[in-house]
Amino acid sequence: MRALVVEDDARIASDLGTALQSAGFRVESCADGEEAWFLGDTEDYDLVVLDLGLPKLDGLTVLKRWRGNGREMPVLVLTARGAWTERVEGIDAGADDYLPKPFRMEELVSRSRALVRRSAGRGSAMQQAGDLVVDTNRMSVSLRGVPMSVTALEYRLLAYLMLHRDRIIAPGELLEHLYGDEDAREANALEAVVTRLRRKLGPGILGTRRGFGYYLEPSEPEG
């Protein structure tokens, strides 16, 4: 899962980055509204955490521009304490959730996960496809009821396929959501992870449709 953190307070931004990373997100950060607007308009994120008080362009304007441009990623806004007008304005502008500052990181992480699940049309933290269960709260995977040991990268791959199991995921999309804008976006790297996972999972779990991409069995989704 790929997250964008927009926050000009360096310390909060760093804490947010750490918390979301340990929750399984690839985190990118920016500290002003103009860059945020550009990134959100051109990149594909699974979640955005958006502070409203930002230099250059305020968060509310950024959010309105994204929504006006048809950008539909889930956005959680951070508002000043007690500023109920900000919360109302944020939601009116298209925010999916909000948290007043100061907030507990645990709550932010839990709300973030819920937003990602809801935006994929999945309400529950426990997701199942055939014999495979992914618990997005505990970040754990089990197969036929037996817990599996997976790396962070393998977890992210399975969780992404699980949340989007109604379709086949192209390698490019998977790479982007696994690695973000890092340099490691090589098809070979992805194939290596898939091969390793297949060995762990055994046959009949992680499917490939040649020329299209990957999906979780048992059923092969439409194109």
Work out which of 3, 5, 20, 51 binds Ca ion, going by CB under 5 A: 51
Query: Is 8 among the residues that bind Ca ion (CB under 5 A)?
Result: yes
> What is the chain's alpha carbon radius of gyration, rounded to the nearest angstrom?
18
Q: Which stretch binds Ca ion (CB under 5 A): 4-12, 107-115, 139-147, 198-206?
A: 4-12
* Binding of residue 86 to Ca ion (CB under 5 A): no
| Residues sharing a CB contact under 8 Å with residue 111, sequence separation 6 or more, in sequence order | 76, 97, 99
List all residues 6 or more positions away from 219 whose beta carbon is below 8 Å from its beta carbon: none
Measure the CA angle with vertex 164, ends 191 and 220; round to 5°. 75
Minimum gap (Å) between residue 51 Cβ and Ca ion = 4
Taking the complex as a whole, how short is the minimal distance between the CB of residue 131 and Ca ion, in angstroms? Answer: 46
| Contact status, residue 133 vs residue 126, Cβ threshold 8 Å | yes
- Binding segment (CB under 5 A) for Ca ion, from list 50-58, 122-130, 168-176, 205-213: 50-58
Q: How far is the CB of 56 from Ca ion (least distance, A)?
A: 12
Q: Is 53 in the site for Ca ion (CB under 5 A)?
A: yes
Give residue 138's region: left, alpha or beta (phi > 0; psi -120 to 50). Answer: alpha
Question: Which residues of the chain form contacts with Ca ion (CB under 5 A)?
Answer: 8, 51, 53
